[in-house]
Structure formats: structure tokens, C-alpha cells
Structure 1
Amino acid sequence: MKRLLIAAGGGGDAITAAMVHAALYGGDTEALVLTYAWERLVVDPVPGPRGAADFAGALAPVPGLTLITPRTAPKAPAGSLLPRLAAHLRPALGLLDPYGGTLGLARQIQAAARWCRADRIDLVDVGGDIVARGDEATLRSPLGDALALAACAATGIPTTVYVAGPGLDNEVPLPQLAPRLGEPAFALTAGDTDGVLGLFDWHPSEAGAMLVAAARGVRGVCGTRDAPRPLVLDDSARQVHRLGRDEALRLNPLAVALERCTGLEDAEDISRAVCGFSEIARERHRAAHAPAVPPPRPPADPESVLARFTAWERSRLAEGLGYVTTRRITEELGLTLPEALVLYRTLREGTPERRVAPLWRLAGG
């Protein structure tokens, strides 16, 4: 028997599901995490989620279940970090393909439950948009979570919803989330992060990185790349809240509206009706208006890169930040991979106290 967990969103939720699994059952307990291949355009330049047909080398142990392994690869021009995650996460990874809508997802989850011989589901979300009403001004990506919740309900399999690190995804502010979530069920600890700590050297999930940092005792103000405001890492940032499936549905009008959805285009239309937007349409717009990829350039010398970082760091300190994510440093400084590797090695060797894995402490922060 394997435990069956559903990552409500993308790669960050898959990592969070692995931590929640470790906290609930122990990291060595066999488990399967079903997750979307729905990643940022910097990873996957094709808007929207990827389906099973977008991968080569996936496994299908039973009809309806697609397993992602380290040997699986996305078909160009698509991109995906799931095969790399599969090489590092302890739970096995399976794909959620949303192109058949809620009912298609439900069939995939049922197939996974039969294969795992699981009689219940743990549905995991980092941040809390799985209980979004749909009208929050800062809401950006509710569709994947709502589809996963609606699909779990459609299976009829008992489902528990876990929200970890409320507010860390900067979608629904913590003051709005707190009354919906109630008291925390438990808190993640440093030991729960042991299997995922090294992932954030290359994985761009900032919510996941902050959750890991909070679980490991980091406290302070953290600035991320993809957020309108900094976040305070305090004890609430490592908490996990438990909700019943029906309670989560009561809080999520989009999930309720998706109950009989049979396709992704239909899901987009429902999202427009409930939330006023389609996040896939937004991705299409960003992809269509993305700046041209600049031609390769030789890496800047290490001293020049360090000087750019130092000037950037002074500006972030003036904003009141104490910590930043790897992604924010890399993207805001426009670092090539060789430049990033040199900078991070220089920071580790010159001032080891800067690295508070998986975050970076600003000097004086």
C-alpha cells in the first residue's frame, strides 16, 4: 500500500506534499504524489499545463495513471522540472493531466488510488489559494487548485485538505485566510525538510523555499521575485491546517462550479465567470509579449558580478528585507547560469553566514 497525495498546484505543491507526507507518516513510508506539470514560463515557454502526451518516457502501470521518472522528458518546445524532481523526491511522482477537466482528473485519481491500494487522499496546498473565494485582489492562479479539489470530490474517495504555510504564495493575504483555516493541526519541523532542502538550489518555487526556511527556524522579512510585497517569516509560516473536503468546497466557489467540467477550455470559461479571469489566458498574453531571448554573452568577471550584487543588496536592505530567495537574486540581476554559480560560490566561501538554506541572508539584515 502507498499513501496517495495530491499536489493542488504545481511543483512547489509537490515539494510541500513530500514534506507533509514526511510529517504525517514518516519520510520512508511509500507514497505517490500526483501533481500538475504547470510551471512558470521561465521553465516551460508553452502557456498552460502539460498533458501526458507532452512527455516521452513516462510509465503507465495501469490505464489512466502516468508516472514521471528521472528518465521521462518533456517534448520540445515544452519544458518541465518534474523529471528532475522525480530524481530527488522520496515519494513517486504521477501526472495530473487536466485536459479532460474535473471528470478526467477524477478518473486519473481513481486509477492512482487503485494502484496504490489507498482508501483515502491527502490534498496538499502551499499558501492557501485552495480556499480562495475568487474575488481576492491578489489572486493569480486558482484554477489548478480548484480543479484538484473538485476532482477529489468527484472520486467519492475520503479526502483531507492540508494547507501549509498560509499566505506564503502571496495570493490570499494571511488576515483573510486565517478565519477560513482555523487553528493549525501541526507544524513542520526541520526534520520534515531533510528530503527537499537541496532542491531550491535549482527549483524556482519561492513559496516552497520560504516554507522550508520557516520550518528550519528562519525568522524575519523575506523578499521574493514574484510578489507585490515582502513576507514575514514567523511561527505561522510553518503551520499546517487541516480541513475536510466538504469544508474546503464550501470555501471555494470555483471548485463547486467546476463539478461536472469535462475539458480545460470549459474550466477556463468557468474561471472567467467566477473569478473574472483565466490564468491560462494571462500566460498566453505574457508568452506572446515576452522579450526576445538575448544572444549568449560571455560571463562577466566574478568581481563585476559581486559588485552588482552588493549594490542590489543595499537597495533591498533599504526596503527592510532581511532575506531573499535564490530566484529573486538570479532574475533581478539577470545572471547567466555561470555567473550565478560563481556568485553563490563566492558568497558561500567569503561569508558562509549569508547562506541560510534555502534562503540568503542580506548583510546587516
Structure 2
Amino acid sequence: MMAPFRRKKSNKEFPVKVCTYDSELEFHLEHRATGGFLFDLICRTIGLRETWYFGLRYVDKKGYKSWLKMDKKVLDQHINLSNPEGCVFMFMAKFFPENVQEELVQEVTQHMFFLQIKEAILSMEVYCPPEASVLLASYAVQAKYGDYDEAVCKPGMLISENLLPQRVIDQYQMTPQMWEERIKTWYADHRGMSRDEAEMEYLKIAQDLDMFGVNYFPITNKKNTEVYVGVTALGLNIYTKENKLTPMTTFPWNEIRNISFDGKKFFVKTNEEKGNSVATTFYSEKARTNKELLDLCVGNHELYMKRRKPDTMEIQQMKAQAKEEKHRRHIERN
């Protein structure tokens, strides 16, 4: 998929390549273009209005993964211009909803989340147990192929598909044909589901996985023990180095008074009884880790507060349009 327009290049422009999980976009930006300008251009191109979940991820000159800042010029953010493809960015979810069904309105937003979460599960970045993996695979097949048809879905058709995490496959002494039959059994039950309905069912199961929507950062505590801090839609979690599934400590957003950092030190100040506050200190190897950590904390906290207020007119309008569109498609299908 290409951008809807191509302009003649000038010496004051530079090429940009933007990847999503199912397409690539190409633009030419003026040297003074900001991250926000590029971001808005992408959102308009793909028709995305729920912009607050997403960001642009890239690898900078030093090899660090970074989020593009919206208020700064693109070229002022240590972009690697030596790449023959130009500036390459990944358009992806930076923040996650608390409840996918209640919060994700547009079909394009749901589709973006579906593709990203599916990739995270299949690459084993997000742990998914075997039974859930098979069920999720069946929804992914329904989303891709539509209703199960024995004449079309011949034996061996799903074997070449990447549908299950390798960890799950290695856990059992089962042939590819046996896995295919397990997936087909569930797949046949999803008859009548549209693509967006199958993707939403996938997300509803995925959001209950322990690692869904958690951004992990390696840090050390005051005892110099290596731990992970996980930033989520609901707050901060602290995990042992050996267990990224079950947090040993949680700091809900409504109990956090202040978050800050000073160089490599990261501070979490929580509310206590009688109006007192307690500060917990963590240490990162690099100050840049704390910058990204704070950025994710601020963004997640803002969305947490936003969810607890009445919907804006924009969101009410989006929900009404989405409801009408879904009703129209339902009538067309039947």
C-alpha cells in the first residue's frame, strides 16, 4: 500500500518509509517536518482516528529503539540517515486499552491491535498457554479465510501457516496434522463471524494474558537486585528477573502521587494513610531508559484518567458511526 500522493523530490526533502504490521507507506518530508506532522499524515492515510494509542518506533544512530517525539523535528531525533531505505519507522501501538471491547471503536484500530498482538504471541514476546494458543489460532484463521468450508480447507492447508508459538509446538509430541485438526475443530465453530468480529474475539482472549500490554524495563532495586518494572494501562508492576508473569509488587495509578527520575535513578512516590507519601527508588543502567519509562508512565496515566471521564463528542461520534457501519454490514451479510 503506497501513500495516496507522490510529489517531486526536492533537495529540501528526505524519504521516509513507514511499516505497519500489514503494509508499507512511503513519504517525502520537508527537512523541518515534525514527528507530529508525519504521525498525522500516516493516520490520515490509513483512516485512523483513535490516534492516542499509537506511536512511531525506530532505531536511532546508536542502535537504541526509540519513540519518535511529536513536538520535535524528525531530523533532530538522532535518525539513522545512512540507511539506504531512508528513515524507517514502525507505526504501532504504544499504549493499550483496559478493555478492548469497550474502548476500541474503529475497525482499523482493532485490526492494528490484532496484528500486533498476534505477532507478539507468535514470536513468544507475550506468553500464551497451549489451549489459548489453539483457540486464538482458530480465530486468526476465521479472520483470514472466513467461514470453514471443507472443500476449500483441505488437509495440509493450515500446516504452512504460522499459527502457533514454537514453544507450544515443542511442548507436545504432536504432528503438524494433529495441530491442524485441533485448530480446525475450533475454527468450524466460528461460522458466521465476520473478520472484525473474529479479531475482536481474539483480542478479548489475548487481553487476559499476563503479559498483554506490559512494557518491561530491566532495573535494580535498592538492594541491588535485578528486577523488571512493567508499565501497564492500570499502573506499574515490579517483577522478579525469573518471572515476568506474576508481579511481586503493584503500584496502581490511583495510588501513585508522583513519578520522576534523576539521571539513572527512578522514583515512584505513592500515597499512604494520613496523607503521607512513600518514595521507592529504582536504578537503571542508562538515563535514557528512565526517559522512556517516564514517557510511558505519563501517557498511560493520562489515558487512565481519560477513561474515567465521560466520552468526548469525538468519541461519541465515532461510536455512533461504528455502530451504524456494523449494523449495515450485518444486514448485507444476512
Give the alignment's TM-score, normalised by structure 1. 0.26
Give the greater-gyration-radius structure (CA): 2
In proportion to residue count, which structure has more strand? 2
In proportion to residue count, which structure has more helix? 1
